[in-house]
Amino acid sequence: MATKNWTTDDIPSQQGKTILNTGTYRDRSVLTLLKYPMRKVLTLLTLIIMTTNTASYGQNTSAKNVEKKHALIIISSGRQLPLAEPAEVKSISTGFFLVELAQVLKEFENEYDFTFVTPDGKAPQLDINGMALSMQYIEKIGYKTIPLRRKQYRSSFDVNSFRQSYPKLVNRREQELQLLERHMGKIPVSELLPNSEPELTQYRSELIRRLDTLPEITFHSLKELIERHRNPADSFKFSNFDFIHAPGGHAPMVDFLNNPWLGETLHLARENGVIISLICHAPVGVTSTRQRIDTLGRPYLVSDNPFLAASISTVPKIGELFALRFLYPHVLGKKTRTSYFVDKAIKEAGFKLATSINIAAPKLAYEPSVQLLTGNGPQAIDMQTAKLRSILNSTGATTKRTTGKKLSK
């Protein structure tokens, strides 16, 4: 099955608007029926009703028999990114990138139920900067972002005119937002930063108004899932899932690094044949696989880590430095540095890095022995989703269905 492409027709608000022009047909049908004896008319109507009910019943029965598979979505709940510099700014508002999750939701929503978790069970925060129109360029982000930013700083800049100039980007962002609304409900949105793209100032207000009308769902914690998996009386098991996906943004730098509960989660996923997909900053989570959690809830070091067989694709230091100098994380007028670099932390944990000369190009790495798929940022999300689909098809991950109780939203 091919990865789904984004089109204007995919927007749910534009679907299902077929106009039923039945007036003329109805009038002609009545006139035709009046030509026949009443007994024949009643017989004909009875047959029509029986046929319609039979067809409807068949459709409903089929729909009920379609049992969805299950996928686990792990999202960071980090909301403040610590900074090493400047000294007077301790942290900046952050969150996860929807662009690195939405394509996965779109590709698999008709086949899968999604269980959403965060490391601590708190709601994740959407990073407003990940909603910039430049992010919707995907594989072209690297050479489109700066020109698009410059247009927003012209004296003639107008939000509506700017959006009208990029209908495809606007449409994709709208589709992503509707996926968020369908699956995740109301969640907080990060604060604007001094170097956020100007178009986002108006968009953030529009976004919050929409999200505020939605119900909140339950985000389970990793600890909860692990304890339930270990409980023999609980039907919840990691073997119920076909795959895990974790989006990036800077938030994973807060709670994916050296987190033993995340380490235990990834090991349980590996032991139960679950495919793991991490993108952008989320691959820093592999540092957590050096630890696990024992039956008493205590962390311990892993002596022989199977995940070390994987080469990891992630945000390279040079890409991070570029963002800290020219893009939204930059503190105006100041040298800006995060407390660590993701690729360096991964390398120090003993992993090999999958790198590319062109840091703006999509780069994937897949290690079949642990079924770990990683990507280097939003530019790779469409390619990574297609690769995830391919892996699922090739491994035959189509039979894991739980007969037990589904985690509630």
How is 162-204 classified by DSSP, letter by letter? HHHT-HHHHHHHHHHHHHHHHHTBS--BPPP-TTS-THHHHHH
3-class secondary-structure state, position 228: helix
CATH number of the CATH domain containing 164: 3.40.50.880
Residues 6+ positions from 112 with CB-CB distance below 8 Å: 68, 69, 70, 71, 242
Residues 271 and 223 in one domain: yes
Does residue 409 belong to any structural domain of this protein?
Answer: no
Residues 36 and 161 in one domain: no
Residues 209 and 227 in one domain: yes
Contact (Cβ atoms closer than 8 angstroms) between residue 248 and residue 277: no
Does residue 2 belong to any structural domain of this protein?
Answer: no
Determine the average pLDDT of the residues in 380-396.
96
3-class secondary-structure state, position 27: helix
CA distance 374 to 143: 22
Residue 240, phi then psi, degrees to nearest 5: -70, -20
* pLDDT value, residue 125: 98
> Which residues are 338's β-sheet partners?
83
Residues 46 and 119 in one domain: no
Give the pLDDT confidence of 229-255 residue by residue, as tens digits.
999 999 999 999 999 999 999 999 999
Q: Give the residue among 259, 352, 367, 353 at the shortest CA–CA distance from 315.
A: 353
Give the pLDDT confidence of 52-97 residue by residue, as tens digits.
443 333 333 334 457 899 999 999 999 999 999 999 999 999 999 9
Give the pLDDT confidence of 269-321 residue by residue, as tens digits.
999 999 999 999 999 999 999 999 999 999 999 999 999 999 999 999 999 99
Contact (Cβ atoms closer than 8 angstroms) between residue 244 and residue 276: yes
Residues 309 and 164 in one domain: yes
Determine the average pLDDT of the residues in 9-28.
38
The total of other beta-carbon atoms located within 10 Å of residue 29's CB is 11
Residues 195 and 126 in one domain: yes
Does residue 15 belong to any structural domain of this protein?
Answer: no
Q: At 168, is the pLDDT very low, low, confident or very high (cuts 50, 70, 90)?
A: very high
* pLDDT value, residue 29: 43
* pLDDT value, residue 26: 38
* pLDDT value, residue 407: 65
Give the pLDDT confidence of 104-137 residue by residue, as tens digits.
999 999 999 999 999 999 999 999 999 999 999 9
The total of other beta-carbon atoms located within 10 Å of residue 351's CB is 24
Does residue 50 belong to any structural domain of this protein?
Answer: yes
* pLDDT value, residue 52: 41
Does residue 4 belong to any structural domain of this protein?
Answer: no
Does residue 327 belong to any structural domain of this protein?
Answer: yes
Q: Give the residue among 7, 16, 18 at the shortest CA–CA distance from 175.
A: 7
Does residue 403 belong to any structural domain of this protein?
Answer: no
Residue at a domain's end among 65, 97, 125: 65
Residues 82 and 111 in one domain: yes
Percent of the chain exceeding pLDDT 70 equals 81
> Which residues are 244's β-sheet partners?
72, 276
Q: At 394, is the pLDDT very low, low, confident or very high (cuts 50, 70, 90)?
A: very high
For residue 170 the two structure tokens come to 């606007």
Does residue 278 belong to any structural domain of this protein?
Answer: yes
What's the structural domain count of the chain? Answer: 2
Residues 146 and 247 in one domain: yes
Residues 45 and 131 in one domain: no
Q: Give the residue among 365, 338, 362 at the shortest CA–CA distance from 353.
A: 365
CA distance 181 to 11: 12
Residues 270 and 380 in one domain: yes
Q: Where are the alpha helices (DSSP H) in 98-184?
A: 99-108, 141-151, 159-164, 167-183
Residue at a domain's end among 12, 32, 65: 65
CA distance 184 to 178: 10
3-class secondary-structure state, position 253: helix
Range of the domain at 29: 24-65
Residues 161 and 301 in one domain: yes
Residue at a domain's end among 45, 65, 85: 65
* pLDDT value, residue 393: 96
Residues 323 and 376 in one domain: yes
